[in-house]
Amino acid sequence: MEKLEKPGAPPPVDLPADVTEKKGFNIKILLFGLPLFIVQLVAVYFITANFLLNKMHANGTGAEDGKAGKKDSTHVVKEAKPTEFGKFIYEIQDQIVNPAGTDGRRLLMVSLGFDVPTEENKKEMEAKDVLLKDAALSVMSSKDLSQLGNMAYRDTLRTEIVQKLHKVMPEVKINTIYFSKYILQ
């Protein structure tokens, strides 16, 4: 090989063969490493979304359901008749909630139905309507948009509203809460 030298340029230096190979970009990393990384990323996403979040959600509500089941079973033994769902429902219509962190720019319109086991419980809720609305609104307004927009979070929201109501009205037993209207704007 002929070496052409430019005038004023330093003389060329001969480097060993192994040093000159490391200077270039290794295309194998790009061709194999990047797709492998993407496959791993997708796998981690699906494992997290399908298995871990479902287990966390099941464990979170499962423990509460177990406690509620114990309360229900002792309650049923006292009354000696099974709980009938949907017979006595007290409704709160079209409540407007400002979610946390929105500064009043976003709204949630919600209508709730409280399923109670007896007519007496329903009359108690009617008598304490303002306390009931305040408890439900305070729980919902403490949540941010990501929580209120998540369909899976509604079970947790129901549980938190029931817990808040038990503090305000401990004598009233609530079977479940129904969302008849849930509009997030």
Produce one character per residue of 18-34: b if its CB has 16 or more CB atoms within 10 Å, e if not: eeeeeeeeeeeeeeeee
Residue 8 banded pLDDT, cuts 50, 70, 90:
low
| AA identity, residue 176 | T
Q: Please, what's the b/e burial string for 123-147 (b: 16 or more CB within 10 A of its CB; e: otherwise)?
A: ebbeebeeebeebbbebbeebeeee
Amino acid at 50: N
- Tell me the pTM: 0.51
Query: What pLDDT is recorded for position 29?
Result: 74
Strand partners of residue 110: 95, 182
pLDDT beyond 70 at 12: no
| pLDDT for position 86 | 66
